[in-house]
Amino acid sequence: MRSDRELLELAAKAIGMRLGGWEPCEGGYYTYSQRGSDKQTMWVPLTDNGDALRLAVRLRLDMSFLDSMIEVCWFDEAASANRSIEERINDAQGECEATRRAIVRAAAEIAAHHPRTDGGGHG
């Protein structure tokens, strides 16, 4: 099982994001502007709905809500196969938190198998 930091590093690779310094108290990374400037912002898709949604859109992830879990799916072009991960929804982890975590886990899986460095989606 990967740590949150490892998940975020891989998720960033999946979309070609340039990471700055890790900020443990914030649970995320400082990132640099895609235009190459030195301006930094926090990137925390495990806790920020907007960051998680932008990640899902960039990677064209599909989401399905089941009884007590969320399933995130994507098409792995290199393997010509559909892939998915599931994340439980429960009292300790509500629907939004589970959704964000599922998105980040899916992005990490994509990068672990097919890393991108050009800022594009998976492929």
Q: Tell me what pLDDT residue 27 has.
A: 65
| Strand ranges, E, within the chain | 19-23, 28-32, 40-43, 62-65, 69-76, 81-88
Residue 22 lies in a domain: yes
CATH number, domain at 75? 3.30.160
Residue ranges of the chain with per-residue pLDDT less than 50: 33, 117, 119, 122-123
User: What's the whole-model pTM score?
Assistant: 0.84
Residue 93 lies in a domain: yes
Domain count along the chain: 1
Residue 10 lies in a domain: yes
Q: How many other C-beta atoms lie within 10 A of the C-beta of residue 15? A: 22
- DSSP H helices, 18-94, are 49-59
Q: Tell me what pLDDT residue 99 has.
A: 97
Amino acid at 14: A
Residue 86 lies in a domain: yes
Residue 121 lies in a domain: no
User: Residues 93-117: pLDDT tens digits?
Assistant: 899 999 999 999 999 999 998 755 4
Residue 122 lies in a domain: no
Alpha-carbon distances of 117 from 7, 15, 63, 64, 70, rounded to whole Å = 16, 7, 25, 28, 28
105 with 74: CB under 8 angstroms? no
Range of the domain at 38: 4-113
Q: Tell me what pLDDT residue 58 has.
A: 96
